């Protein structure tokens, strides 16, 4: 599909999303509800107004950028100060909740699916909490305070547990199926994500310091896009990488709040399209 057609479709998606958000607010619902409704209406299960080629072209980059922004913010919740305070209790609480959810969904899914791999993977998926949904709703209502911080931290932790559990389950399933992939591939997924996150975090701090206080969006977008590309080229899951990036910036500098504040100028269109 030509570039002009893709841009036209993107404009249509944004207009529909904004209209859906307005309707949702009139009904005293989160704007995100309207975004989702507009997406369903435009998609193949609704009016099917978005060409499938355009959806495939836009879907990957838009989703990757939106998730990168969300996970960067969530990663910034893991500061040493917070971990020394209520962080340890939140880690224990989140770990117990993740283990209980995984076990419950896996056990009750098996009789329905009749497949151990399917039940295990569904259990892993159930552990994760939708990070974009949580962050967008909290930002819309300008929620602040210790409860909001705890919700953000628990959301980030749930996704960390889900990523680690997925790698562990994948390793077990591959081992039992006689596949060629082994511990090395799983180890690279984890260490590669950590490595990219560490490099991206320090690179973002450096670029922000060099560009000055009046420039936050360009360094942030530059690092996020570079990290997405590097992760995809090397086959490394990028979700954990962006959580680490946010944690590095929040712990190693004072630019985390300015950077996340600058996100408001460009993140909303990505969230609407997402």
Angle, helices 31-42/131-140, rounded to nearest 10 degrees: 130
Please state which of the ranges 43-47, 139-143, 157-161 shows the lowest mean pLDDT.
Answer: 43-47
**Nearest Cα to 163, choosing from 131, 138, 134?**
131
pTM for the predicted model, two decimal places:
0.80
Distance from the Cα of residue 170 to its chain's centroid: 20
Q: pLDDT class for 3, splitting at 50, 70, 90?
A: low
Residue 271 neighbours by CB distance under 10 Å = 23
Token pair of 17 as six digits: 């999303």
**Inter-residue contact 97 to 176 (CB < 8 Å):** no
What DSSP character marks residue 145? Answer: S
pLDDT tens profile 59-86 = 678 888 888 888 899 888 888 877 776 7
Backbone angles phi, psi at 253, to 5 degrees: -155, 180
How many Cα atoms sit within 13 Å of 20 on the Cβ side?
Answer: 21
Interatomic CA distance for residues 244 and 24, integer angstroms: 34
d(CA 217, CA 212): 11
């Amino acid at each position: 599909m030509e570039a002009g057609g893709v841009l036209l479709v993107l404009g249509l998606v944004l207009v529909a999303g904004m209209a859906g958000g307005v309707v949702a607010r009139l009904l005293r619902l989160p704007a995100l509800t309207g975004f989702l409704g507009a997406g369903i209406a435009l998609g193949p299960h609704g009016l099917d107004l978005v060409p499938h080629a355009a959806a495939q072209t836009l879907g990957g980059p838009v989703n990757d950028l939106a998730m990168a922004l969300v996970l960067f913010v969530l990663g910034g919740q893991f500061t040493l100060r917070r971990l020394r305070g209520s962080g340890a209790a939140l880690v224990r609480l989140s770990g117990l909740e993740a283990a209980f959810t995984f076990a419950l969904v896996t056990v009750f899914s098996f009789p329905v699916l009749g497949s151990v791999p399917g039940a295990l993977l569904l259990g892993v998926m159930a552990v994760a909490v939708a990070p974009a949904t949580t962050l967008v709703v909290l930002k819309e209502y300008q929620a602040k305070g210790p409860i909001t911080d705890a919700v953000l931290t628990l959301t980030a932790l749930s996704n960390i547990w889900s990523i680690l559990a997925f790698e562990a389950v994948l390793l077990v399933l591959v081992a039992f199926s006689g596949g060629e992939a082994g511990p090395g591939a799983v180890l690279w997924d984890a260490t590669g994500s950590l490595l990219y996150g560490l490099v991206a975090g320090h690179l973002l701090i450096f670029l922000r310091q060099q560009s000055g206080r009046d420039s936050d969006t360009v360094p942030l977008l530059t690092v996020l896009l570079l990290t997405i590309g590097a992760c995809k080229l090397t086959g490394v899951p990028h979700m954990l990488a962006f959580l680490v990036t946010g944690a590095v910036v929040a712990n190693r500098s004072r630019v985390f709040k300015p950077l996340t504040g600058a996100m408001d100028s460009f993140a909303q269109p990505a969230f609407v399209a997402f």
